[in-house]
Structure 1
């Protein structure tokens, strides 16, 4: 799929097509590849299907976007340079994701940490230590904002960079006891959802959430998991995407460790400490530079007003990309386009952690 920035109207049409009945991720991509635009695909749907396809209502799509804007969130489309590259490369990536918070975290190398909701005290303590150490080493921590291991992972990485992928809408708090953590991640970390705002999580949405968790991450770590659990599903999806899987060994007498011990038996990396992950994946700083979207993408040209605003905001003092996007009041793709031009011209320098500084 060719990378390009979408107009607001095009992004709205993408949302309509993606949310239409019977249009999954694979079908969506085939339609875009065949018809190039979502509008043309929508127009052709009645002739393509033998049965009537229920299209997502245009007014409802506009309401979704308005609600996201009011909530401080926005949508990233699969074809846009600001869409996370690892997720784009994974099997069946969602056509659009809704995000709120520090979008710059999507540029950092990420590791997923998942596990049991009814986790043991030892498991949660180990998770906090692991998340803190990996976060300190430069990795964003991805998890599903559930009880137990997920919560421990987010808590410990909130200050260094945490990404929460939720099964419902980005504004729907689940479980209720995670309300304060959900709000904190929306401000200090990053919330990610595939479903529109206002959507309550359903059982069938969790496998989709797990696919996004695995797709966003270089590796998935499972701390505690029973033999039948969503965490093992996330590990399987990570393996299908060609990503590393790590598992923390546990007592054979604890049912919460049957899944993790089984993963190790089946070839997953055994994890005892954060260094085990770093030894396999490498340095987060090197990974960040080599996978830089600013070096790899070709976003559409930005307007003169956006260029002027971004240049005014930059100074010799480094600024995080998410802060720059927020202050510029422009779409992430447009800000990325300006940074790329300035980088080529030798006017800005990209530093570790996605920070940017002006050179002249």
Structure 2
């Protein structure tokens, strides 16, 4: 886009009181934004309300500054003026990310979002130049799966997110999530660990490992702890936002962006979620968009599992392995990727190792020392030593409140 065309789209998104629905009516009636702003107020009132028409006839105060900032960002500037120090690096080398603004009229706009009720007018996107070039299609046309869940997962929940993402990306799916702490970050990491060059099932061309849909402008990363992860995604996947550069992490933006996470995906897998979790918003929008919803069951004692159990009662598919997801989406599995595939369903069979007696006593629910003393007959000091050994082996996690939880599956 040239400066004038980009300026028209930005002005349309900044016009106060003019939401996506009104903007789409205007675009349908008049064409490009430049044609909308060339109309007299009376013509605009045929599509929108009088206050909206008046707003469209005035240039928003922030428009000129945002246009300059966006052009600088597209050209490689590291961030908007005044942004915090979490701006992404400029694309000075071929290994660093390219940037694009993709509008509803752009052939690169994701087809899956066009089928939803409220597609964003434009998307700010950061990723490999090979995906963002004008002739390319950065978003897979099919075979994306959203993985979402608690920001404070159990150790097992974080492992599940990572292992499912790894196994499912190895089978050709792009993993979509929201770059939040906890399950989101683990899902992105699992996909990145699997491969950045898994071929598309449709074209054979490499697809992005993962897509992070964020609730801020792309010139900053929230939470800042995920800055390194965001940089990895920008090289091997896509960072996406509908919000203008400079947009801070406003609480209302995160539930709103969830419709993009589910809309890009064939289905949404909820790993762990409390009853009041934002992940349940994503699951609800997935249902409204006609997408599949999957949930991993957990301990009846864990608050992080109650949202998943509620989804299963409401008809979500109970998932125990990545194969369950593939079967529901009518996709075939790729060859086994490792001996630690999600849910044990993707690995080649091998002889089971003898089970540690303490692991058997632990079960799979969080448990305290007193309960373990009663189950095993060991004294507390010996138990602490044995638990530490298992913790160092990565088979047990120490949880807040003096609890311990077994990791992995038998």
TM range (shorter): 0.7 to 0.9
* Distance in 2 (alpha carbons) for counterparts of 1:73 and 1:197: 12
1:120 to 148, 154, 162: 154
| CA displacement, residues 315-344 of structure 1 (integer Å, 9 cap, x when unaligned) | xxxxxxxxxxxxxxxxxxxxxxxxxxxxxx
Answer with 1 or 2: which has the greater Rg: 2
Distance 1:219 1:7 in 2: 36
Q: Give 1:75's aligned residue.
A: 101
Between Structure 1 and Structure 2, how many residues are aligned? Answer: 281
> Is 1:154–2:154 an aligned residue pair?
no
**Distance in 2, Cα, partners of 1:128 & 1:105:** 23
TM-score (norm 2): 0.65
What's the offset of the Cα at 1:244? 0.5
Alpha carbons 1:100, 1:192 under 8 Å: kept:
yes
Give the structure 1 partner of residue 344 of structure 2. Answer: none
How far apart in 2 are the matches of 1:156 and 1:35? 45
Deviates more, 1:113-122 or 1:202-211: 202-211
Return the structure number with greater relative CO, CA threshold 8 A, min gap 6. 1
**Matched position secondary structure for 2:227:** helix
SS of equivalent residue, structure 2 residue 211 = strand
Q: Secondary structure of the equivalent of 2:212? A: strand
Shift of 1:176: 1.2
Q: Distance in 2 between matches of 1:175 and 1:65?
A: 22
Deviation of 1:12 (Å): 3.1
User: Could you tell me which residue of structure 2 aligns to residue 87 of structure 1?
Assistant: 113
Q: Which residue of 2 aligns with 1:37?
A: 32
Partner Cα distance (1:86, 1:109) in 2: 10
User: Any idea what SS the aligned residue of 2:118 has?
Assistant: coil
Unaligned runs of 5+ in 2: 77-89, 91-97, 132-136, 197-208, 335-410
**Tell me, which stretches of 5 or more residues in structure 1 are unaligned?**
1-5, 287-360
State the secondary structure of the residue aligned to 2:37: helix
Q: Is the 8 A contact 1:111 1:221 kept in 2?
A: yes
| Bigger mean CA offset, 252-261 vs 115-124 | 252-261
Map Cα deviations across residues 49-85 of structure 1 (whole Å, 9 max, x no partner): 4334264454234224213312431111112211011
Partners of 1:81 and 1:250 in 2: how far apart? 42
Q: Which residue of 1 aligns with 2:179?
A: 145
CA contact (8 A) 2:10 2:63 kept: no
Indicate the residue corresponding to 2:358 in structure 1: none
Contact 1:119/1:149 (CA < 8 Å) preserved in 2?
yes
Could you tell me which residue of structure 1 aligns to residue 65 of structure 2?
A: 60
Instruction: Indicate the residue corresponding to 1:272 in structure 2.
Output: 320
Which residue matches 2:199?
none
2:130 is the counterpart of 1:106:
no
Question: What is the SS of the residue equivalent to 2:179?
Answer: coil
CA shift, 1:229, in A, is 1.4
Corresponding residue for 1:328? none
Q: Calculate the aligned-residue CA RMSD, in Å.
A: 2.1
**SS at structure 2 position matched to 1:113:** strand
- In 1, distance between residues paired with 2:72 and 2:256? 22
